[in-house]
Structure 1
Amino acid sequence: MFDLPDDDTLYQALLDRSPAYEGQAWVCVSSTGIFCRLTCPAPKPKRQNVHFRASPGECLAEGFRACKRCHPLQAAAESDPAVTSLLQALEKRPDHRWSEADIQALGHDPSTIRRAFRRQFGMTFLDLARQRRLRHGFASLAEGGKVIDAQLEAGFDSPSAFRAAFARLLGIPPADLKGDGALRADWIATPLGDMVAVSSAHALHLLEFVGRQALQRELQRLAKGAKGDIGIGTFAPTEQLKSELSAYFAGASADFQTPLALHGTPFYRQVWAELQRIPPGETRSYGELARAIGRPTAMRAVAQANGANQLALVIPCHRVIGADGSMTGYGGGLWRKQKLLEVEVGYRRSA
């Protein structure tokens, strides 16, 4: 994590419009209620009217609006030519087994690229490329292909390496996933990274970002509950979810109506129901959630219920922040939590 220097240093960078802290610090201006990049061309505010934060999410949580001149909510990746060029290269060669030598051949320093991708996406470029290859293997299995076909589609020379990478990501070997399971897993691409959805014929059981540490355990628990009857494919709830996710990220609707199967205690379900009552564009603290369900001293239990949610976005646990307005833990990564809150600013304005 990046440690911010003192406010005087950042204020001087603001006056100089220095790009040194681009993507690492933002300025909140109390006299206008606006937050900006340090490189913003707008007239500079007085020192006593500013404070600095390490993410746009923190600024949003404190009630500041994004500046219309420097657009601080625009993905920083869009302004990083190195990141942009590598993403374009990945799109052209998604099945290629990328290495640091490839990164160097494109004229980039691997260590710089590693830091840039971790800052923007929570993973390295090589992790992103490996995940993309596994997506192709998953798609091959979903279409009824054999494991060997999925392995070749994903660009793995070794069957054992493919099985190990697949199991490491999902917690279930590819051969254990059937095409006609009572529960079916599907891979969904989103602007914030790939997600795995698991549905039955009647309800959505799981929706998580690929790479979440708890994903393996959650899938294994679902498989055990279904007595191993879990496969790859799609049911009507997954198709409905895909449509709703597209509308959500397009800024058209944050209303999720996909039927849900909730795997949790009555207390957990009570917390999750309260999470669903938080309007998009708003946040709550754990203390506020505890008071809302009539259990004001149960903040720790509320936090545990929040972390046990395995229906990301649909049950919006990303809308919970610290009592001081700070960004708190999120299984999908704090960078995603920040981006989700940024996406929902538009919904708050519409409301």
Structure 2
Amino acid sequence: MIPTDSKLVYYQALIDKKSEYEGIFYVGVKTTGVFCRPTCPARKPKFENCEFYKTAKEALLASFRPCQRCRPLSHPGHVSELVRKLVGAVEENPEHRWTDEDFQKLSVDASTVRRQFKKRFGMTFVEYARARRMGIALKHIRAGSPVIEAQISAGYESGSGFRDAFSRIMGSAPAGLGNQQILKASWLDTRLGPMIAIADEQALYLLEFIDRRGLEREIERLRRKTKSAVIPGSTPPIDSIERELRDYFEGKLTEFKTPVKLIGSPFQKQVWEQLREIQPGQTTSYGDIASALGKLSAYRAVAQANGANQVAIVIPCHRVINSNGDLGGYGGGLSRKQWLLDHEKNGSVEEDIG
């Protein structure tokens, strides 16, 4: 995640159209759905409507499309006709899966396209088209569409193909990792929808619902903090949490044994450890947790730490509600939070959420 201070600097650079920030960041505009370079001549959005990204790929995966005015996928001052032609073709049919025949129809050499995109943007054209397609699919899922609909709209006939494509956006291929630490990511199907689990050989680092808002930034933040590459695969902790989640949803398990690696500040870790003390079927408030930590006035900080939890269900942030009895917030969605609380209180729930 880009720090708030940096966001303010980037926003001022956007307002001033500072060319020295070209290549440093891209800005996604929530009101228009486009992402731009720092020097875009378009009318400037309000700060609260901006999302900042370090790469164009991050912006694409967040479901933003390239701006037609500043052409963020072209070099500053040089709008490539080839890039314009291909990006335009993608926008005409973003769900299309490209083949060599498509390039032939456009009288474009596939190897030239691949080489130019890779050299200029750090990804091939096919990777760009896939990222754009997957970004749209994830947007559909976050908006409440069933995963199967998003899968089909993204052009994947099988669920395994869709999961494989999702996995490919997680990180580098194994051959290019060097001496980096490796974390592996797996797609887990659960009763409340698909989740992603990320772990090394010893512990689980992240467990989130696929449609959680900001998931891409969470994964990127984990990459940076651990100085790791995230690649598709499985590890013993992932196998363990998959088994435990199955038992949990079947009402056979109430305590998770999968080892968890907590990545956060000392205060955040204190809050997360306190969350693990809340028994299934019980709830508590932010104020109660602050009191238990001996910091009565820190309930807002407790709420922030609760929201920063990256290991859903296992670290049960869903068991924290407002002091007035309202559900409060939940990154996985309030319907899931209510389902989980009912499930833990009653031992089972008759129907899945829609």
TM-score by length of 2: 0.52
Alignment deviations for residues 16-51 of structure 1 (CA, whole Å, 9 cap, x no partner): xxxxxxxxxxxxxxxxxxxxxxxxxxxxxxxxxxxx
Change (3 A) 1:201 1:255: same
Residue 185 of structure 1 aligns to a residue whose secondary structure is: strand
Residue 270 of structure 1 aligns to a residue whose secondary structure is: helix
1:208 aligns to 2:208 (yes or no): yes
Paired residues of 1:254 and 1:347 also in contact (CA < 8 A): no
In 1, the alpha carbon distance for the partners of 2:293 and 2:171 equals: 43
Paired residues of 1:185 and 1:233 also in contact (CA < 8 A): yes
Partner of 2:198: 198
In 2, the alpha carbon distance for the partners of 1:237 and 1:129 equals: 30
In 2, the alpha carbon distance for the partners of 1:272 and 1:328 equals: 17
Shift of 1:221: 1.6
Partner of 2:77: none
Change (3 A) 1:183 1:138: farther
Residue 254 of structure 2 aligns to a residue whose secondary structure is: coil
Paired residues of 1:198 and 1:206 also in contact (CA < 8 A): yes
Change (3 A) 1:122 1:173: closer
Residue 186 of structure 1 aligns to a residue whose secondary structure is: strand
In 2, the alpha carbon distance for the partners of 1:199 and 1:175 equals: 14
Shift of 1:296: 1.0
Alignment deviations for residues 197-250 of structure 1 (CA, whole Å, 9 cap, x no partner): 000011000000001113111111222345452200100001110111011000
Aligned residue identity for 1:344: E
Aligned residue identity for 2:169: P
Residue 182 of structure 1 aligns to a residue whose secondary structure is: strand
Paired residues of 1:207 and 1:310 also in contact (CA < 8 A): yes
Shift of 1:175: 6.5
Q: Taking every aligned residue pair, what percent have the same amino acid on both sides?
A: 44
Unaligned stretches of 5+ in structure 1? Answer: 1-96, 98-120, 141-149, 151-165
Aligned residue identity for 1:326: D
Matches of residues 84-163 of structure 1 in structure 2 within 5 Å? 123-125=143-145, 128-131=148-151, 133=156, 135-137=159-161, 139-140=163-164, 150=165
Paired residues of 2:278 and 2:319 also in contact (CA < 8 A): yes
Shift of 1:292: 1.1
Change (3 A) 1:211 1:124: closer
Number of residue pairs aligned between Structure 1 and Structure 2 = 201
Aligned residue identity for 1:243: R
Matches of residues 1-351 of structure 1 in structure 2 within 5 Å? 123-125=143-145, 128-131=148-151, 133=156, 135-137=159-161, 139-140=163-164, 150=165, 166=166, 173=169, 176=172, 178=174, 182-347=182-347
Residue 186 of structure 2 aligns to a residue whose secondary structure is: strand
Shift of 1:139: 4.3
Residue 205 of structure 1 aligns to a residue whose secondary structure is: strand
Greater mean alpha carbon deviation, residues 313-322 or residues 225-234: 225-234
Paired residues of 1:318 and 1:341 also in contact (CA < 8 A): yes
In 1, the alpha carbon distance for the partners of 2:291 and 2:151 equals: 41
In 2, the alpha carbon distance for the partners of 1:178 and 1:195 equals: 23
Partner of 2:129: none
Change (3 A) 1:265 1:174: closer
Residue 206 of structure 2 aligns to a residue whose secondary structure is: strand
In 1, the alpha carbon distance for the partners of 2:242 and 2:272 equals: 21
Shift of 1:173: 3.0
**TM-align CA RMSD:** 2.6
Unaligned stretches of 5+ in structure 2? Answer: 1-94, 96-140, 349-354
Change (3 A) 1:174 1:253: closer
Residue 198 of structure 1 aligns to a residue whose secondary structure is: strand
In 1, the alpha carbon distance for the partners of 2:347 and 2:146 equals: 34
In 1, the alpha carbon distance for the partners of 2:318 and 2:204 equals: 19
Aligned residue identity for 2:308: A
In 2, the alpha carbon distance for the partners of 1:188 and 1:300 equals: 32
Paired residues of 1:122 and 1:333 also in contact (CA < 8 A): no
Residue 207 of structure 2 aligns to a residue whose secondary structure is: strand
Residue 244 of structure 1 aligns to a residue whose secondary structure is: helix
Aligned residue identity for 1:268: Q
Change (3 A) 1:231 1:343: same
In 1, the alpha carbon distance for the partners of 2:305 and 2:159 equals: 30
Paired residues of 2:142 and 2:213 also in contact (CA < 8 A): no
Residue 258 of structure 1 aligns to a residue whose secondary structure is: coil
In 2, the alpha carbon distance for the partners of 1:270 and 1:309 equals: 12
Residue 247 of structure 1 aligns to a residue whose secondary structure is: helix
TM-score by length of 1: 0.53
Change (3 A) 1:289 1:185: same
In 2, the alpha carbon distance for the partners of 1:286 and 1:304 equals: 10
Greater mean alpha carbon deviation, residues 199-208 or residues 285-294: 285-294
Change (3 A) 1:339 1:122: farther
In 1, the alpha carbon distance for the partners of 2:142 and 2:314 equals: 22
Residue 239 of structure 1 aligns to a residue whose secondary structure is: helix
